[in-house]
Structure 1
């Protein structure tokens, strides 16, 4: 089984992707279906640390005959789908409906907790990571258990992530979606559109994994819409 994990890791790494942990489904959980339609027994999460997949995605996008809606999701489904097919898994994505509990799976698989921005805080990557898909297997597949680490947000006294947004979109009350969207789309939103969320960029952790401005601008454009 370890050999298969290593092979999956290598296959994902060809596109800058990484395994983000995994878990076994208890018998009483009501797991989603695997590749054949039988309930899955385990799931491996696939994602990224920093912007490692970006050059692979750009090369793929440049080869497409026309503009594609949701290109990053489309690319992720394509390249991760090839890995899933090779290893007999069903691939699912966070944007697939009905939505699956990716955030809960991530918490269980890696032992992470949310930051004040809602993004899970990683002890190494900070806020600069993502989950792209999950591989559902009808066999039991195990990974080494995660090691408990300190939640970095608990050690952060100043909380700059709650002080940098011009419209205070994030607070202890949650995310003010409409205020954020209006600001990003408005005349004063160019710093956010060009360089990403100011609150997220204010976090001091995982700075070496921070997405480059062009990557953050891509995601912000997807958030702001046409």
Structure 2
């Protein structure tokens, strides 16, 4: 491990070189707890990371969490950082970190909406450094949802699972488990797809299907059994 971590530009370049994206930075004293002096939030944004995952593993059988650790844990060691993952137990407070870093707001769908990447991102890891790192400042310009008057995300779900009152998970899961849910299973969540923010980072069709299958399997439904 190096005596001191590299600068922010070198860290971000190495993260992007592994097909991940830097989603935000935090410093000790930013009002949230973490071990160390600086923290960088890492995730996927757009289709790049999934493309690499699918080229190295079989998405039908291999877990993305295992692959993520295999890729990012050695990188953390290389950079002199300690890696934490959303699937660690106890679960690190990634969304709390994201809010404090100006890296997102709660969208009407309940998902985090990033100021640059919209809904087309997910947190995969955080690197915690014992040394403070000077990094680009983030200006929180507010949620893009606040300037979206029509809120098409709330009017697109075929079973009305998303409303201003919250997300009806059972209604969503029941629809996905029915023959009528085939467009959502193959094309992705229609409510999420309706968001007009950051469309240039829209997921690939294979990535969309992968996440929908994972969502269903987490609720005990095998998509292959739906007639």
- TM, length-normalised to structure 1: 0.87
Distance 1:67 1:122, change over 3 A: closer
Specify which of 14, 19, 40 is matched with residue 16 of structure 1.
19
Q: 1:118, CA displacement in angstroms?
A: 1.6
Map of 2:152 onto structure 1: 160
Map of 1:72 onto structure 2: 64
Map of 2:187 onto structure 1: 195
Q: Measure the CA separation in 1 of the matches of 2:198 and 2:32.
A: 34
Query: Deviation digits for residues 56-84 of structure 1, max 9, x if unmatched?
Result: 1112105x9x943xx21111111111110
Tell me the matched-pair count: 215
Q: 1:5, CA displacement in angstroms?
A: 2.0
Does 1:60 pair with 2:63?
Answer: no
Map of 1:34 onto structure 2: none
Query: What is the root-mean-square deviation of aligned Cα atoms in Å?
Result: 2.3
1:205 alignment partner, SS class: coil
Does 1:114 pair with 2:114?
Answer: no
Does 1:89 pair with 2:81?
Answer: yes
Q: Which runs of 5+ in 2 are unaligned?
A: 223-227
Distance 1:164 1:18, change over 3 A: same
Map of 1:43 onto structure 2: 39
Q: Measure the CA separation in 2 of the matches of 1:11 and 1:24.
A: 20
Map of 2:225 onto structure 1: none
Distance 1:224 1:17, change over 3 A: same
Query: Deviation digits for residues 189-209 of structure 1, max 9, x if unmatched?
Result: 101110110000011111111
Question: Which stretch shows the higher mean deviation, 44-53 or 122-131?
Answer: 122-131
**Is the Cα contact below 8 Å between 1:22 and 1:142 reproduced in 2?**
no
Map of 2:215 onto structure 1: 223
Map of 1:182 onto structure 2: 174
Query: Deviation digits for residues 120-159 of structure 1, max 9, x if unmatched?
Result: 2233322111211101122222422212324211111111
Q: Measure the CA separation in 1 of the matches of 2:54 and 2:131.
A: 34
Distance 1:109 1:209, change over 3 A: same
Q: 1:210, CA displacement in angstroms?
A: 0.8
Q: 1:28, CA displacement in angstroms?
A: 8.5
Q: Measure the CA separation in 2 of the matches of 1:54 and 1:28.
A: 33
Q: Which runs of 5+ in 1 are unaligned?
A: 32-38
Report runs of 4+ in structure 1 exceeding 4 Å deviation: 27-30
**Is the Cα contact below 8 Å between 1:8 and 1:83 reproduced in 2?**
no
Map of 2:198 onto structure 1: 206
- TM, length-normalised to structure 2: 0.86
